[in-house]
Structure 1
Amino acid sequence: MLTILGVPVVVLSGQLLLGVINGAFYALLSLGLAVIFGLLKIINFAHGAMYMLGAMVTVILFDVLGISYWVALFLAPLLVGCFGMLVEYFLLRRISGQDHIYSLLLTFGIALLIQGVLINIYGVSGMSYSMPEVFEGGANLGFMFLPYYRAWVIVVALLVCFGTWFVIEKTKLGAYLRAGTEDAQLMQGFGINVPLLVSLTYGFGVMLAAFAGVLVAPIYSVTPVMGSHILIVVFAVVVIGGMGSISGAIITGILMGVIEGLTKTFYPPASSAVIFLVMVVVLLIRPSGLFGKEA
């Protein structure tokens, strides 16, 4: 059997695939955080709860209304995004312009509230979501077996990440978003509805988290506490990439997933801490992150 550094190629390729999949989720989630912080300067500790809501809403829509995966893929993020816009309008807007600690504490409280309500209703036991029939099975690549759904997750996550980067960095809408957050009075003077732009931006960042939740539902067990488990890792990814850096969130998310997968192969005890170790090293060398701008 072919090996690399004493590890069978089949095992290594399997862990790399798992790392890329986790990296795709990290990229989507950290991208949403980067959009919200980079454009709105909000430290959104409710992001993990929105990710969890995306998965929970998908399961609920299927169980109660019999809605298919393809409908839920668009409907669940839209519903959670609308909920996020309501949170921004009624709560976050009230502390606009205040110190970052206020948004951190408020969103943390929102996350605990959402999680507590769903735990009371559904408990903490996992809920399952059936794999879409079209993605059942996989392809034998010779050196590894690639499940079709895992391939779909990687492709669609990368497309959404690239599309988001393109819209924010290369289009007129993205220019309006950046300008509106830098000088709201000037943009309002040109007839731009800045408060609406802020709500839409927050809602879109939340939608990215919910979209990741929909993608993860057929792979992992769906529970009300799943968001809190991944949130701290995603924040570490954002810090490594640079707070507010769109491209940094995408690249670092995928890279950290791969590094985590490789660590599970060669030294499993360190796999749960390797991302935080990388964060410490990066902050010591470059406090603004790999792709962040110096203050």
Structure 2
Amino acid sequence: MFELLGISPQELFSQLMVGLINGSFYAILSLGLAVIFGMLNIINFSHGAQYMMGAFLAWIGLTQIGQWTGNPGFVVNYWVALLLAPIVVGVFGVVIERTMLRRLYQLDHLYGLLLTFGIALVIEGLFRDWYGVSGQQYEIPEALRGAINLGFMYLPKYRAWVIVASLVVCFATWYVIERTKLGSYLRAGTENPKLTQAFGVNVPLMITLTYGFGVALAGFAGVLAAPIFTVGPKMGADLIITVFAVVVIGGMGSILGAIVTGLGLGLVEGLTKVFYPEASAVVIFVIMAIVLLVRPAGLFGREQ
């Protein structure tokens, strides 16, 4: 069968693995966008910059913080960064929401998009001025180095960890929002904030924490990406357009749509690299155009 297709099994499975890795990042980033849009009706164009911040915070903790503290032996390792960087990025998001975004909730979506686009440009500009445009390397943690022999291919341990971690975070988020009382409060606060607040729910605080959580997901993805991709100021800008396409295909605000579509489109992109490499850079956008023609609300979106 593989001979008829003109490819080797190793080539096919390796590209599927690359596609699944990319799909994991598409899923977790589009999930953060879907949470923010679904709960706040804000199109968060700064998501890519916040993803970049997570990666840079991990790199700074491993390579720079020892110089800052005057103790060269002091480092923030990968596992600590995986916990701390999303919290720091999330707190940054909370500050943005309380000082700027809160003023735009009653206005057209375009105002939120323009504001967050401006925030993204400021963040990227600051990191470019501080660290330049050349990328930085982040070492894979020692516990996740090497590969597992699956018989038909070698699976790098770190890439397997990225897939598992992304799936756990994505489906845990979906479960909390769709299957718990907290998720019911979030959805109710979005659909009818005055009535929800009348029942004693602090809706403004809930909205603030929701935005912080969505932003923290971007920071978490950035830490996961640091050992795989080069850490640089433009790493988020190069990815965010594709992630927005994933969100549109899945349905704006759809949690399950973001997860399933992100993983699925990553695999489609990987297969395209095998059979028609020239189209791999545009296949997601072609799918987006087709979906918008057939179902404007997206595959999992709800018609207004």
TM-score by length of 2: 0.96
CA contact (8 A) 1:15 1:261 kept: yes
Residue 279 of structure 2 is aligned to residue 270 of structure 1: yes
Residue 149 of structure 2 is aligned to residue 140 of structure 1: yes
Opposite residue 290 of structure 2, the aligned amino acid is: V
Partners of 2:191 and 2:97 in 1: CA distance: 18
CA apart distance, 1:4: 5.7
Structure 1, residues 145-173: CA drift from partner, whole Å, max 9, x if none? 10000000000100000000000000000
CA contact (8 A) 1:167 1:174 kept: yes
Opposite residue 41 of structure 1, the aligned amino acid is: N
Equivalent residue number for residue 195 of structure 1:
204
Partners of 1:4 and 1:29 in 2: CA distance: 37
Equivalent residue number for residue 11 of structure 1:
11
Partners of 1:105 and 1:51 in 2: CA distance: 18
Equivalent residue number for residue 177 of structure 1:
186
Opposite residue 13 of structure 1, the aligned amino acid is: F
For structure 2, the 5+ residue unaligned runs are: 66-74
Opposite residue 33 of structure 1, the aligned amino acid is: L
For structure 1, the 5+ residue unaligned runs are: none
CA apart distance, 1:281: 0.6
Opposite residue 42 of structure 2, the aligned amino acid is: I
CA contact (8 A) 1:53 1:80 kept: yes
Opposite residue 33 of structure 2, the aligned amino acid is: L
Residue 266 of structure 2 is aligned to residue 257 of structure 1: yes
Matches for 1:62-211 after TM superposition, within 5 Å: 62-65=62-65, 66-211=75-220
Equivalent residue number for residue 295 of structure 2:
286
Partners of 1:50 and 1:264 in 2: CA distance: 28
CA apart distance, 1:54: 0.6
Partners of 2:157 and 2:240 in 1: CA distance: 27
Partners of 2:40 and 2:153 in 1: CA distance: 43
Equivalent residue number for residue 61 of structure 1:
61
Percent identity reads 62
Query: Residues 3 and 70 from structure 1, CA distance in 2 versus in 1: closer, same or farther, beyond 3 angstroms?
Result: farther
Equivalent residue number for residue 36 of structure 1:
36
Partners of 1:4 and 1:15 in 2: CA distance: 18
Query: Residues 139 and 185 from structure 1, CA distance in 2 versus in 1: closer, same or farther, beyond 3 angstroms?
Result: same
Structure 1, residues 189-211: CA drift from partner, whole Å, max 9, x if none? 11111111001000000011111
CA apart distance, 1:140: 1.4
Equivalent residue number for residue 229 of structure 1:
238
Structure 1, residues 57-110: CA drift from partner, whole Å, max 9, x if none? 110111133101000001000000000010000000011211000000000000
Opposite residue 173 of structure 2, the aligned amino acid is: T
Partners of 1:53 and 1:86 in 2: CA distance: 15
Partners of 2:255 and 2:10 in 1: CA distance: 34
CA apart distance, 1:185: 1.2
CA contact (8 A) 2:40 2:105 kept: no
Partners of 1:96 and 1:262 in 2: CA distance: 41
Q: RMSD between aligned alpha carbons? A: 1.0
Opposite residue 15 of structure 1, the aligned amino acid is: Q
Partners of 1:184 and 1:260 in 2: CA distance: 40
Partners of 1:256 and 1:4 in 2: CA distance: 25
CA contact (8 A) 1:3 1:9 kept: no
Count of aligned pairs: 295
Partners of 2:49 and 2:148 in 1: CA distance: 34
Q: Which runs of 4+ in 1 moved over 4 A?
A: none
Partners of 1:34 and 1:278 in 2: CA distance: 19
Secondary structure of the structure 1 residue equivalent to 2:200 = coil
Partners of 2:105 and 2:159 in 1: CA distance: 40
TM-score by length of 1: 0.98
CA contact (8 A) 1:23 1:256 kept: yes
Please identify, of 179-188 and 221-230, the stretch whose mean Cα deviation from structure 2 is larger.
179-188
CA contact (8 A) 2:10 2:153 kept: yes
